[in-house]
């Protein structure tokens, strides 16, 4: 159905100042931008009255959506103890239906906080694809591959063949990390990615010990490892975290297909440190923003990540001029979409996908905003509670506190049941 946004302000990462006018959505795309556009016959007209703003939908650059089922487990434990005693035993009991309902829960949470696309790495990814496509949320999926099991690699390639390009979905191959996948396996996965034309998504240098692990095992620096493994191929490459990426090797990443997915909340909550994000930006390496899984964040709120990212690097570098609101806005929208392999997502342009967040500016914390400073107001004063609606490819995912086309109580019930079931299964396996 066509939707006309009448008299809205709107801004994206490429616009210097907010514009005011009408935006027509037709066939899932932004069909027209202008003034006094005619109302679409049989369509919906939403009135902004100059008190509401449209921005592109946020892209969660790195997450494990179904981990919402593991939220809150083992809080504030040392990382290895947290993984070995609280997370992995529960994950071992995950069934396809848990992944499906966990993702449905995550999709609700993301839609309510303005996310219209998420880059997900987990397993049973057909369930993730099903959950996202049934709700109409865009996503970029990768089957997390560990060990050298060719069957899992095949699963990743099969997922690509089944879903890539279908229902707002892209698929990448997902070799989990250099410490869970051998260099030889990494090379063969990358060769396969090149052969089928897939991008790649992997964890890189999240923990402090990882650079020395790579050095000891392969005699390579992180940059040389990426080159040796062929990880920067022709498709988009998402490098999640890069907390311990050596700044001296950043120039080698510039001009490649790599996007660093920066996950400030998760990295801080797990005590991992923080990525040299400003150095990546200064070096011309694109950054996206991610939440990581809800077990280590514990929110799936990209707006929160924007604010935290802008504050964190100012504080760490003792410099209020770095990591601007404009920088994080671009990371959360256009750069994230590009990392997911979408070339017409992330800007408000005619012909681009209608992935939109509708924001209420008629609130006390927006007093003083203008067309030039609106992005600063969003990042520093605003929050996702200002969101009136979230639309992906022209379809409302969230509107005025509700999720159109979804039985809220039924979904909440299923997600709750899956969480309880998982915890019961984990408890049964305890010695």
- Interface pattern 371-400 for Zn ion (x via CB under 5 A): ------------------------------
Output the smallest distance, CB 280 to Zn ion, in A.
18
Question: By the 8 A CB rule, do 118 and 65 touch?
Answer: yes
Output the smallest distance, CB 62 to Zn ion, in A.
6
CA angle, residues 54, 60, 62, in degrees to nearest 5 = 170
Output the smallest distance, CB 240 to Zn ion, in A.
5
Output the smallest distance, CB 385 to Zn ion, in A.
26
- Nearer Cβ to Zn ion (292/304): 292
- Nearer Cβ to Zn ion (292/327): 292
Output the smallest distance, CB 261 to Zn ion, in A.
9
Q: Phi and psi for 322 in degrees, rounded to 5? A: -90, 170
DSSP E strands in 147-242: the ranges are 169-175, 199-204, 237-241
Report the relative pairing of strands 395-399 and 19-26 from DSSP bridges: unpaired
- Nearer Cβ to Zn ion (213/380): 213
> Within 289-318, which residues bind Zn ion (CB under 5 A)?
292
User: Six-digit token pair at 364?
Assistant: 């006390």
Q: Which helix H or strand E contains 91, and what residues bound it?
A: helix 88-91
Output the smallest distance, CB 247 to Zn ion, in A.
22
Question: By the 8 A CB rule, do 66 and 128 touch?
Answer: yes
Other CB atoms within a 10 A radius of the CB of residue 49 amount to 9
- Nearer Cβ to Zn ion (22/292): 292
Output the smallest distance, CB 241 to Zn ion, in A.
7
Question: By the 8 A CB rule, do 102 and 76 touch?
Answer: no
> Within 412-431, which residues bind Zn ion (CB under 5 A)?
none
Residue nearest to Zn ion (CB): 292
Q: Which helix H or strand E contains 9, and what residues bound it?
A: strand 3-10
User: Six-digit token pair at 77?
Assistant: 């434990």
Other CB atoms within a 10 A radius of the CB of residue 391 amount to 26
DSSP E strands in 297-394: the ranges are 356-360, 387-392
- Nearer Cβ to Zn ion (271/401): 271
Question: By the 8 A CB rule, do 102 and 415 touch?
Answer: yes
Distance of alpha carbon 175 from alpha carbon 182, whole angstroms: 10
- Interface pattern 146-165 for Zn ion (x via CB under 5 A): --------------------
Distance of alpha carbon 55 from alpha carbon 13, whole angstroms: 9
Output the smallest distance, CB 292 to Zn ion, in A.
5
> Within 75-134, which residues bind Zn ion (CB under 5 A)?
none
Distance of alpha carbon 347 from alpha carbon 417, whole angstroms: 39
**Number of residues lying near Zn ion (CB under 5 A):** 1
Q: Residues 293, 144, 336, 284: is their CA dihedral positive or negative?
A: positive
- Nearer Cβ to Zn ion (242/374): 242
- Nearer Cβ to Zn ion (119/189): 119
- Nearer Cβ to Zn ion (142/353): 142
Other CB atoms within a 10 A radius of the CB of residue 81 amount to 11
- Nearer Cβ to Zn ion (48/156): 156
Q: Which helix H or strand E contains 61, and what residues bound it?
A: strand 58-63
If you count them, how many residues does the chain have? 431
Output the smallest distance, CB 44 to Zn ion, in A.
38
> Within 254-293, which residues bind Zn ion (CB under 5 A)?
292
Output the smallest distance, CB 202 to Zn ion, in A.
9
Percent helix / strand / coil, the chain, rounded to 5: 40, 25, 35
- Nearer Cβ to Zn ion (265/353): 265
Residues that bind Zn ion (CB under 5 A): 292
């Amino acid at each position: 159905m066509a939707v006309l946004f009448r008299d809205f302000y709107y801004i994206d990462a490429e616009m210097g100042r907010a514009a005011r006018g009408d935006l027509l959505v037709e066939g899932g795309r932004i069909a027209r931008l202008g003034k006094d556009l005619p109302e679409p016959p049989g369509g919906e007209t939403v009135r902004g009255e100059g008190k509401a703003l449209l921005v592109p939908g946020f892209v969660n650059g790195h997450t494990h959506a179904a981990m919402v089922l593991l939220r809150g487990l083992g809080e504030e434990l040392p990382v290895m103890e947290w993984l070995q005693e609280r997370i992995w035993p529960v994950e071992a009991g995950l069934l396809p239906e848990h992944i499906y309902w966990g993702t449905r829960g995550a999709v609700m949470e993301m839609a309510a906080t303005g996310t219209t696309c998420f880059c997900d790495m987990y397993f049973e990814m057909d369930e993730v694809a099903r959950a996202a496509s049934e709700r109409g949320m865009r996503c970029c999926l990768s089957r997390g591959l560990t060990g050298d099991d060719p069957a899992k690699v095949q699963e990743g390639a099969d997922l690509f063949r089944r879903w890539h390009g279908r229902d707002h979905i892209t698929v990448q191959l997902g070799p989990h990390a250099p410490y869970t996948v051998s260099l030889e396996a990494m090379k063969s996965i990358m060769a396969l990615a090149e052969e089928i034309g897939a991008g790649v998504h992997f964890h890189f240098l999240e923990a402090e010990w990882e650079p020395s692990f790579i050095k000891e095992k392969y005699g390579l620096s992180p940059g040389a490892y990426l080159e040796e493994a062929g990880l920067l191929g022709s498709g988009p490459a998402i490098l999640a975290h890069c907390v311990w990426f050596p700044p001296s090797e950043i120039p080698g990443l510039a001009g490649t297909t790599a996007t660093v997915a920066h996950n400030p909340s998760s990295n801080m909550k797990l005590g991992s440190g923080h990525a040299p994000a400003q150095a990546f930006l200064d070096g011309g390496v694109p950054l996206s923003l991610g939440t990581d899984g809800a077990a280590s964040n514990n929110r799936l709120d990209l707006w929160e990540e924007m604010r935290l990212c802008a504050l964190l690097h100012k504080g760490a570098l003792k410099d209020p001029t770095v990591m601007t609101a404009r920088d994080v806005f671009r990371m959360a929208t256009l750069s994230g979409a590009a990392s997911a392999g979408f070339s017409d997502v992330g800007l408000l342009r005619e012909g681009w996908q209608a992935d939109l967040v509708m924001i209420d500016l008629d609130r006390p914390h927006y007093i003083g905003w203008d067309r030039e400073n609106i992005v600063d107001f969003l990042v520093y004063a605003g929050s996702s509670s200002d969101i009136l609606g979230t639309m992906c490819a022209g379809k409302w995912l969230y509107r005025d506190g509700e999720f159109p086309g979804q039985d809220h109580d039924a979904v909440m019930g299923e997600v709750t049941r899956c969480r309880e079931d998982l915890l019961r299964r984990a408890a049964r396996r305890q010695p």
